[in-house]
Amino acid sequence: MQRPRVVWITSTFPGGSGEQFIGPETAFWDAADVTLLPVEYGPSGPQRPIPENFSVDFRLADAWSSRSAKALASVRAAAHPLLVRELADLRRRGKLTPARATMAFKAMVQALMTRDAVAALGPVDVVYTYWLKPMTVGAVMAGVAPVVSRAHAADLYEEGRPASYNPLVRTGLSGLDTLFSISEGGMDYLRERYGFRDDQLSLARLGVDMPPRDTDPWAPSQTLRLVTISTLVPKKRVDLAARGIAEYARRHPEQQVDWTHLGDGPLRAQVETVIAEVMPSTVKVEFRGMVPHAELLETLSTQPFDLMLNTSDNEGVPVSIMEAAVRGLPCLATDVGATREAIVPGSGFLLPVDLTPAHLADALDRQVDPARDPQVRQAANELVRERFDAQRNYRTFVDDVLGSIA
């Protein structure tokens, strides 16, 4: 029997350092021959390893980096019927602005360039796009094979996108065969926000590797031990976490607090300034910066934290929560995106998104003791094992995709 041929469109993978879930997933496509078609080149540096049954075709990245190719696609995009429909839809919904019109035009250019690249690859059994973006529209336009895609967070929740707008999704994807949402909440959003049909939607959670069950290093201590894990960018609101921890410490001057942060980013200096201005001397802060993933997991498996904090105003299903919870560490997190699918009553604690430092301090007052309860810590572990086992979830997803074309 001939092996199926899959074209997998990525943003930059195997280049760059993003799209971290793609690497682990590649191992499960062993029954197919896969051509990776990145939209853009990643930053200079070595490519990440890929299995032997994978190859990389850079024709789309070549085109996307070519001024002449973009210019030609722009001429074709200007009067394309899909762009006309998109602008009409924006006008009908009262959302047409110069900024959104410009975004729609750029998305149309990328969709056309993707269409041409896919069509030029020859016979294909299925096209898989990793993001709900214009490249998915282009894959559908190519019409060479069934198209499946994933929807995560930044590519899904329109409120968090520039101009609160996801171009071409409403008008260009009626021919998409299956859209796999990584969360149940995402599936609801896709129906209600964009009008996807039930027969187009399927749940395919991401996941993390399962460590041995006895990996919670927690032990009693008079010190409150907190951890945050995130890049230092505006949506993560680590400055809010700092102010909330400071407020809690001022209310409990007798309490020693150790706060460890794993992650770096452009707001590091700003967050460190906030810490210097507001943090009482009873709080010891350790900024570890960006650490390799293996080191992060080692830290979670060996350092006895009491509670993890996540103060983001926008998330999909936070991987950091999965990684912590499967090691028995509960999380106190804002109820955004599909975070509530990784935290249920009894396994962690949810906060309103319109959080203030005082609200966070109040929550710490209430939840520190429950977070140390062995039953809560065990429940956090079991929830992740039940829903976010990467080995099981990736195998099911790949089998579903390949089974649909058998």
Q: Identify the pLDDT of residue 160.
A: 84
Record the tokens describing residue 227, joined without a space: 């951890």
377 CA to centre of own chain:
24
Q: Identify the pLDDT of residue 1.
A: 62
Which amino acid, residue 390?
Answer: A
DSSP, collapsed to helix, strand or coil, labels residue 352 as coil
Q: Measure the CA–CA gap between 44 and 333, rounded to whole angstroms.
A: 35
CA atoms within 13 A on the CB side of 207: 22
DSSP notation for 273-335 = HHHHHH--TTEEEEEEES--HHHHHHHHHHS--SEEEE--SS-SS-HHHHHHHTTT--EEEE-
CA atoms within 13 A on the CB side of 377: 21
Q: Identify the pLDDT of residue 120.
A: 96
How many Cβ atoms from other residues are within 10 Å of residue 203's Cβ? Answer: 14
Please state whether the predicted TM-score (pTM) of the whole model is above 0.75: yes
Which amino acid, residue 357?
Answer: P
Q: Measure the CA–CA gap between 56 and 44, rounded to whole angstroms.
A: 16
Q: Identify the pLDDT of residue 316.
A: 84
Residue numbers in the chain where pLDDT is lower than 50:
none
Q: Which residues contact 64 (CB under 8 A, 6 or more apart)?
A: 39, 40, 70, 110, 113
Angle, helices 268-278/238-251, rounded to nearest 10 degrees: 10
pLDDT digits (tens, 9 = 90+) for 45-101: 778 999 999 999 999 999 999 999 999 999 999 999 999 999 999 999 999 999 999
Q: Measure the CA–CA gap between 57 and 121, rounded to whole angstroms.
A: 9
Record the tokens describing residue 80, joined without a space: 């394309």
Burial of 268 (0-12, 13-18, 19+ CB in 10 A): middle
